[in-house]
């Protein structure tokens, strides 16, 4: 342990002891009882901050959680409780992602109760990102990491939409479609297609020049090839577009599935094969 960590642990332990001592004090009046819990919560936060500076993330997360408990149950301050839980999640995310998710979820509930939907949406998105990046399964309801990430992105999108934050909502919906079609096993291509169609129509309402852009012409060519069951034309369109604007792995994977569907006429997107051994163009 470094000198800084040792020093901050000592400070954190002292504040923690002070907080625990304050909670145990006897009081006779309601005003003094409230003041007692305010002082104790403040000491817990000071302890958490000290631990955080020393890189003691588990200890910091625990102290923030104890502060949140006082703010929520004793002081009835949803704002302070949600902030402490959010801070706890930020510390625990580095060492215990599953515990961090629990803190963030409780904070989301409190923020929604307080009508702070934009902050709740941001935390819901953060939860989704943890599920997606760390691969943490959702122990609460038994969902795998991908399914849990999709549900959290969907929740974030809905909360953003309630606050008229259309851009953030669309970004989260795009992640729902991306994961539903590319990471979920088996994929939910119909759900992804419906989301992309809805997002696409919204974009067209805002951008009347899309139809004449390279992307617009590329999309129109693909649709025509699918309708005409023309795999060669589909491959040529992809090849010509990719020469100038490189298709990322996810788009390539989706286009491979569409090409297979045209070639075998099954309409299932060729989900039974391996994308890696297929030449899209």
Domain limits, the chain: 3-203, 207-281
Residues 6+ apart with CB under 8 A from 21: none
What is d(CA 154, CA 144) in angstroms, rounded to the nearest whole number? Answer: 16
Domain 3-203 has CATH 1.25.40.10: yes
Distance (Å, whole) CA 115 – CA 125: 17
Q: Is 279 helix (H, G, I), strand (E, B) or coil?
A: coil
DSSP track, 118-137: HHHHHHHHHHHHHHHHH---
The secondary structure of residue 138, as a DSSP letter, is B
Q: What is the residue-level pLDDT of the chain in tens, covering all 281 positions?
A: 799 999 999 999 999 999 999 999 888 777 789 999 999 999 999 999 999 999 999 999 999 999 999 999 999 999 999 999 999 999 999 899 999 999 999 999 999 999 999 999 999 999 999 999 988 777 666 689 999 999 999 999 999 999 999 999 999 999 999 999 988 989 898 999 999 999 988 887 777 788 889 998 999 999 999 999 999 999 999 999 999 999 998 899 889 989 998 988 744 444 444 444 445 54
What's the pLDDT score for residue 273?
45
What pLDDT is stored for residue 142 in this prediction?
Answer: 67
Residue pair 164/156 in contact (Cβ under 8 Å)? The answer is no
* Phi, psi torsion values for 25, nearest 5 degrees: -65, 145
For 185: left if phi > 0, alpha if psi spans -120 to 50, otherwise beta; the answer is beta
Phi and psi torsions of 143, nearest 5°: -80, 145
Q: How far is CA 51 from CA 5, 14, 87, 99, in A?
A: 8, 11, 12, 17
* 3-state helix vs strand vs coil in the chain, percent to 5: 75, 0, 20
Dig out the tokens for 251 from the structure: 């788009």
> Of 247, 189, 261, nearest to 219 (Cα)?
247
Please, are residues 37 and 70 in contact by the beta-carbon 8 Å criterion? yes
Spatial distance between the Cα atoms of 264 and 255, rounded to a whole number of angstroms = 14
For residue 220, count other CB atoms closer than 10 A to its CB. Answer: 12
Strand stretches in 154-200, DSSP E: none
- 280 phi and psi angles, rounded to 5 deg: -60, -40
């Amino acid at each position: 342990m470094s000198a800084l960590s040792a020093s901050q642990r000592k400070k954190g332990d002292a504040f923690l002891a002070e907080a625990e001592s304050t909670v145990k004090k006897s009081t006779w009046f309601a005003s003094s009882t409230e003041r007692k819990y305010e002082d104790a919560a403040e000491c817990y936060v000071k302890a958490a901050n000290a631990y955080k500076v020393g890189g003691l993330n588990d200890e910091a997360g625990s102290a923030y959680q104890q502060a949140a408990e006082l703010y929520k149950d004793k002081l009835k301050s949803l704002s302070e409780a949600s902030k402490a839980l959010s801070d706890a999640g930020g510390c625990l995310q580095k060492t215990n992602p599953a515990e961090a998710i629990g803190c963030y979820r409780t904070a989301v509930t409190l923020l929604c109760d307080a009508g702070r939907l934009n902050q709740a949406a941001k935390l819901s998105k953060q939860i989704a990102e943890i599920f997606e990046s760390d691969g943490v399964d959702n122990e609460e309801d038994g969902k795998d990491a991908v399914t849990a990430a999709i549900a959290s992105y969907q929740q974030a999108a809905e909360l953003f939409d309630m606050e008229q934050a259309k851009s953030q909502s669309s970004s989260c919906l795009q992640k729902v479609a991306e994961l539903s079609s590319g990471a979920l096993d088996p994929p939910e291509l119909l759900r992804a297609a419906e989301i992309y169609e809805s997002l696409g129509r919204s974009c067209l309402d805002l951008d009347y020049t899309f139809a004449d852009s390279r992307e617009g012409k590329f999309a129109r060519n693909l649709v025509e090839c699918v309708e005409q069951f023309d795999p060669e034309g589909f491959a040529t369109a992809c090849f010509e577009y990719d020469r100038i604007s490189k298709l990322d792995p996810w788009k390539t994977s989706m286009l491979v599935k569409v090409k297979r569907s045209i070639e075998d006429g099954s309409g299932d997107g060729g989900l039974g094969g391996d994308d890696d051994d297929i030449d899209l163009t």
